[in-house]
Amino acid sequence: MSTKNKPVTPSPANDDVVVAEKFHLADLLSKEDWLSIWGAFIIIIIASIGVITKAYAFKAGTFGKWGDAESGSIMKFFNGSVTCLTTWGGITLALVALIVIFSVSNKMMGKNIGKYAVAFFALFILTCVVRLISSQVIFSKYLEYAFWALILGLVISNLLKVPEWLKPAIQTEFYIKTGLVLMGASVLFSNIQKFGLYGLGIAWAVTPIVIIFMWILGTKYLKLENKRMVITIAAATSVCGTSAAIATAAACKAKKTDLTFAVGISLIFTVLMMVGMPVFCKVVSIDPLVGGAWIGGTVDSTGAVVLAGNALGDVAGQVAALVKMIQNILIGFVAFAVAVFFTTKVDKGANQTVGASEIWHRFPKFILGFLGASLFFSFVFQNTIGVDATAQILSDIKEFQTWCFALAFTCIGLETNFKEMASQFQGGKPFVLYIVGQVFNLVLTFVVAWLLLSGRFFPIPNIMV
């Protein structure tokens, strides 16, 4: 694991002040955090120009569903049909765009661009295999691409061996940061207006309470020494699973094994909750409005939220999606708060003073890109080019975001060793942390959703449009 992925080591205890490196303008074109922002914004700008001028479509390809009577077998997918050709054309566009952006960025960081480009091409092929597997009809309903990326990477790293020539492309944090900046564009504050204070109460009031509860549970009562794992699991549980976990892990400089565990357990329980919560709501006759909000505030994956919510009806599906989208807005703010907290509290020595310059030095700059993209699309683009055009731009960049995350999870698998992961489990305490935290999250979210949406205390909102 590279040095930048290790927890920050405080200065000796006899130092009175932590001295940060000075910021230079050259950092804007040579540091990974800044380059992730510029690369993501290049994609956003090109996609935006294409939609606004209607001159072209800058849309990365994805694998269509296969494996049932309607979509056909995998052999039909490869038979050269128009759909197949369109798919591979879009995937080729994604490869070209990403290999250029990341290769140039590596050159600017002083790395060998030729070795990186060759390695990235191979990594992209592996990621294509991951996305092809995850697009199978049954798999796509229950297990996200992140699961298959981790599995493939773990098999190669633990049963085979990662070749040296592939290692230059294994840059997990870089792909995560770029994907998160792209994701920021889709986190629109206009979603708050659709559900008002109800959504804020369910999505925003509960989340920080759950994070604080799990932090205290993990560090004070379970006495987990790995505080980075604690906060990563807490964010995955309380906000939105995978996306929140990777943002928080980057913000607190968690190890890849911490992120792997948090994402893995989140994906497993996402499937269980997606299937079980709608059934439970029907059995005990929970109002669909309350049930939808409960699902939206607790099920981690946005896709799983939509499926589970719609199982209770159209109203529940809309409420679930709105609550989850409003909750997603918190990703950037949670990552920001975690970065500042770890810099000023967790990583600070007993006799150290952490000033503004040190906070800025350690602060993950990609969060600025995430928040900037979110604010710009929320308050500038929607008000100037319109909601429809904004939605088209977001659709065009969505797949680039997914490719970045898929590349990152493949890298995590390639870098993770089972023995190293086993050492993180600490007698099963992380499992206890997640399960107790998720139960607390389920109970608290249901209570808040019932108080706000049962009609006993507040008027029931009309969200049908």
Residue corresponding to tokens 């773990």: 154
Using DSSP's 3-state secondary structure scheme, residue 189 falls into coil
Strand partners, 136: 66
Give the Å distances, CA to CA, from 193 to 68, 110, 284, 297. Answer: 39, 46, 31, 17
| pLDDT the model gives residue 17 | 35
Render pLDDT for 369-399 as a digit per residue (tens, 0 to 9). Answer: 888 888 888 888 878 888 888 888 888 888 8
Residues 6+ apart with CB under 8 A from 277: 291, 294, 295, 298, 299, 308
10 Å Cβ neighbour count for 289? Answer: 24
Using DSSP's 3-state secondary structure scheme, residue 17 falls into strand
Candidates 4, 46, 391, 418; CA nearest to 190 is 391
| pLDDT the model gives residue 359 | 60
Question: Which tokens is 285 given?
Answer: 């006759």
| pLDDT the model gives residue 415 | 78
Residues in the chain: 465
Give the C-alpha separation, 315 to 354, whole Å: 49
Candidates 159, 233, 194, 162; CA nearest to 426 is 233
Question: Which tokens is 316 given?
Answer: 């529940």
- Summary count for the chain: helices (H), strands (E): 22, 0
Handedness of CA 253, 254, 259, 265 (dihedral sign): negative
| pLDDT the model gives residue 284 | 84
Give the C-alpha separation, 104 to 116, whole Å: 10
| pLDDT the model gives residue 217 | 93
Give the C-alpha separation, 89 to 85, whole Å: 6
Q: What is the mean pLDDT of each run of 10 residues along the chain (465 residues)?
A: 40 36 66 88 90 80 68 55 63 90 92 93 92 80 74 83 90 84 78 70 85 92 87 86 80 80 80 82 86 86 72 78 79 83 73 57 73 85 84 87 86 74 68 91 91 77 54
The CA radius of gyration of the chain, in Å to the nearest whole number, is: 22
| pLDDT the model gives residue 20 | 41
Give the C-alpha separation, 345 to 340, whole Å: 8
Give the C-alpha separation, 207 to 371, whole Å: 19
